[in-house]
Structure 1
């Protein structure tokens, strides 16, 4: 309690220091923040402070006190029972009331029943029942009306703490050592089978649910993916066994499970990404997927696209290295390398590139001969056949010349040193169309890198990811033709601002 002078001194200093609570308390060393503010408000209201504090009214009335004491006296003198029945007061308050009203009572009972309420014969019968084990100790304690620890306390009272808690009969004779060894082996085999079954089911579920080729390594999964496996298998195995097998912490499991149960705000984006990826030969990486999503007014960063692609297992397959060579030797003089690795063009039909590539399927070999425009990578013309002969290259060249028949532009046509581009028929067509020849240097594929790059994209996006064993040669040729048309009309290129070559030319007004 603080005196009147202490309280007035604190209020005056509080006003003097500009009503700064901390400074006042630091100066005086008392009181608390709320107490000081309360004193100030009382002073502001009355322009003074009360000299003494008013006595606090009792929490319970005299009538409530008498009801509690009557209930205590008439219901077995039990504190706990009275508190549960009336809902008031606290244990300390009721104990004080009882000791005041019943001074002759030295010990106040706080429990419903104690061990002293049971006769010795009942205790002995309970201990005998505990040793007979006709029922469990919990059931026996409930039947007698005591707790299980009380039952064992009676056992210690009659027999001592060193006595065993059961009288189960020991086996009359030990098992044969060979039988015991077989039992141990059987138990070990059962454990091994259970572990192998868990691992088999985890790998199978990972293959079906996550769609990953793990190679038997479950530790390469992310915590989210491991949580998905546990959720899928928790009805078959204990979660603790799955957590141990996957080496996943329980806290990580519960955190990831809560995140999975939340509403996925990227669900529409995932569906759009999968649709775009499947419709475009499963060859779009995260940059082109992000650009494609922009067309649908879905604006997300490339980092988010990469993360969602990883979660949806949208992976572009890596290319396989295998090249076709048409070099037959120096059968005619080679022209100068005019292109000289400069594959930039300021207008269409300024620089053309050509080459031949090979596809090998079960039904046979197929060859593609295209002409690529350096302006935007568009395939000007192409020929597909089963033989890499001069007719394949000549057909492609005739189709390309027709596209510039009404134009005065005469492009440079660049090729490697293959024999198709050095025969008389090819040279006659080049001279008739007034085209300018250019050839790569010997054994230097980099001199025709832009055309080689088209072949690489073609095989990575179209050829390698698919199984062609059931296709005939004619069916395969139709598929290649359809891909090239899709390449020109639909497939976007980041270097063209996220447009296809035909869209790019139409945007510039170069095509109707």
Structure 2
């Protein structure tokens, strides 16, 4: 690829700035790369042609300020080059990689020019190596650091399993005893990562501390019965009420894990009551078919069972028989065990108070095993009551009972 001179690039930039031509047409005319040409155009628009002809002097402070500004403002390489009037995006990328791996001191120590090939050393490096004393690495100090770190991290099996935050906390606690350089060399953590967590330790986030207090308060208010999902809903409602931005559920989960808050009262899904056991007995056709209107008492009746929770935590079962003409609860039964006798009691009470009507009576239920039992069907025949059943997994025909249960609960 032919190297393009600075004068040619400057001529292309001025042609684009002064004429009615597109950036792509000028770039193709002079054979300039798109990324580089956009940076040159941005520098020319911001500073003129001065930085293009005479670029700024590159020093250690210049590199450090450039990389810090880029990371603090979350800027791209092009935006950073335009902001500092520096026309080499490749150098910016290399400086940032060096800063992330070795810290700010690496940018200050960086020398201009290329590194020697084939492992050759420069004159200055050879002089420093010859004048430096021949000492072996201090393995004893390294072992002491690892031992102290393992003692601080008693719950961690090995240093490789420890998180960066935990390692940074150990370094923060041990830096009064050891040199920071020795701690960084002995532990699997970089200097920039430690500096990030050190800033977090010394300047905690006020919003996060407030969120921790809210989480702990609501967790104790609900007596440790709410997990992450239910607690997240309550926290979001609270933040909407006070007019603040709602936190993410992953953030709430992380903070609950850090504070050791865990729902222990309901660690498994509570089984809900279901009276249907499949085709155990004889099923009846749907005679009601959602025709709920009636002007005669006892002509259309519905029956169903629900599960309730008592104050002491026990499960209680309720069965009702409701008349659709008067919306009156004719009979009901309450028991701690949903057995057959519990289901038959309301029907037996109904037969005792049932008068002679002279018209067809219908009792509608679901397909629960109680209502398919021959004892239930025998009682219906004794009272000349026609049996009606909903289709499986269809509660619309029994909506009258469901409404009563909903209001009751």
TM-score bracket for this pair, using the shorter chain length: 0.3 to 0.5
Provide TM-score, normalisation by structure 1.
Answer: 0.29
Task: Tell me which structure has the larger Cα radius of gyration.
Answer: 1
